[in-house]
Every structure is written in C-alpha cells, then in structure tokens.
Amino acid sequence: MESAASSKAKVGLIGLGLMGQPIGMNLLKAGHTLTVWNRTTSRANELVALGAKLATSPKEVAAASDVVLTIVSDPPALESILWGADGKDSGALAGLKPGSTYIDSSTVSPALARKIAAACAERSVRFLDAPGELIFMVGGDAGTLKSVEPILGVLGKRWFHLGPNGAGQTIKLAMNMILALQVDALAEALALVTRAGLKGEDLVEVMQSSMARSGVLDVKAPNLLKGEYKPSFPLRLMHKDLGLALELANQIGVALPATAAARETYNYVKGAAKEDLDYSAVMKFWKS
C-alpha cells in the first residue's frame, strides 16, 4: 500500500483562511495533488488557478484524499465541517476513507480533539491534532505521525510529539496564553511609561537588552509603538484561545488568574473594534 508519506499522496485541505492559503501553496509547490474546499468559495481562486481541484463539500474533499488537513477558525466551525451543518453525517467525517489520515491544525479544545479521534477510530481513520504554523504541536499515535512527516515537512520546520490525542491542543493553548500575556504585559508597561512622559521606544530597547527580552516582542513591539495592527494573528482568534484555555482550566481545576484578567482586556478591545485587528491591538485598551 502506498504510504501517506509518499509525495504522491493525494492531499485534501479544508479551510483557506490566513493560514490555510499558504499551506495549500506549499503543498502544490511540493507536487501534491490537492483538493480544497472553503466556505467562501472565492478564497480558493488562487489555489485553483495553480492547479488545486475545488470540491463542492468537505465530504467530497475527504473522499478524494489519502491525507486530509483542516484549518478553520474555532470549535463550532470544525464541528460543522466534520459532522455537517445539518447534523446528518453530511460532513467530512462521512467521506474519510478507511486507512486514510486526518490532521487537524485548527486551534480547538483538547476535548474536541479527543471526540474527533474517537469518531475517526470508528471509521479506521488515523487522526492527529497538530495545531501550529511552522512549528506543529502533535497529539496522537507516533506511527501515524511518522507516516505524515514528509507532509509536515512541506508545511513547517519542526514538530513535537507531545502525547495522545488532545496533547497537541493542550500545549498549543498554553503557548498562546504565554504569547497573549507577554504582549498584554508590554502594553501595560508602555501605558505606564508613556503616561509618565517617557518614550516607549526606550522601554523596548532596554527590555530587549535585558533578561525580559523576548522573540514575540521583537515582532509585536513595533506594532504597539506605531499603533498599527494589521492582522497577522487576529485578536478574535487569540481571544478564542484564551477562552479555550480557561475552559480547560475549569474542567481540570487549575486557576489561571493572569489569563482570566488578560482575557477581559482582549475582550474589551474585541468588543470595541470595528475591523479585524492583530492581537497586538490589546494596546488599544489604554490608547485607542
């Protein structure tokens, strides 16, 4: 049997947003046969022009593919893609072929990842939760991961096998908490410094020369200083991830006081926003 690792593997991609589009490009560049579906069909135009096949439903993508990838906004979006909007098995799960592999790279709850794993097991489909972009955090069977490593290699630089299904999502939520709190902390500190009459640029320069330096602030500090928040990682998605982290913490009885406070700050900015903003726009809480 041809392994999923083969460069000939037929790949299906569902979700062509900010992250899905470049994934599709990379798969085509690597020579994969690619079938795509997106709720808003026009977002598939560029990939179709480059050779991707456009399916009429998520189920059709699944039926045409050896390896299926999904990357959509949030748990409700993923559930409707997998189980169908009508709840009558019209979604992608019903189309997945026995022996095929399904990888979800959306950031959703670990509980949903485990529910999907169970539904896949019933159909003899191998499933990995693998959220991330360039670096993938993977939950699921080690052998399944091994079989799709060549595909992950097309999409990113590194991947980490973190445990059974749900483990990838758990680490991803923890990672995004750290990013959200770091940017929120810089925004607070900048509010203090600038209100005290000093230059925000000076704070950033000192900080990045000290033990407080951080990679995410190399990327995001310029946004905060300039007040420019073109979405790279949208604030609405970071807000969703903080909610998912708090939901998990509630389920397992862990207090996350700093995350709860930061979520309210992101919530305020999200509520006041009239456009799609990057999560670094948390600065608008202090300076709109």
Number of residues that bind ligand NA7 (CB under 6 A): 19
Amino acid occupying residue 256: L
- List the x/- string, 70-109, binding to ligand NA7 by CB under 6 A: -xxx---x--xx------------------------xx--
Positive/negative CA dihedral, 201, 277, 240, 114: negative
- Residue with Cβ nearer ligand NA7 (117 or 180): 180
Interface with ligand NA7 includes 112 (CB under 6 A)? no
**Beta carbon of residue 236, minimum distance to ligand NA7 (angstroms, whole number):** 8
Phi, psi dihedrals of residue 136, rounded to the nearest 5°: -105, 135
Ranked by CB distance to ligand NA7, the top (closest) residue is: 17
The size of the chain, in residues, is 288
Q: What angle do CA 271, 43, 168 make, to 5 degrees?
A: 65
Instruction: Classify 114 as helix, strand or coil.
Output: helix
- Residue with Cβ nearer ligand NA7 (18 or 111): 18
Dist CA 13 CA 67 (whole Å): 9
**Beta carbon of residue 174, minimum distance to ligand NA7 (angstroms, whole number):** 14
Which position among 43, 53, 97, 123 is part of the footprint of ligand NA7 (CB under 6 A)? 43
Dist CA 221 CA 208 (whole Å): 10
Is 157 noted as a catalytic residue in this protein? no
Asked if 133 and 157 touch (Cβ cutoff 8 Å), the reply is no
* Positions marked active-site: 172
Residues near ligand NA7 (CB under 6 A): 15-20, 38-40, 43, 71-73, 77, 80-81, 106-107, 237
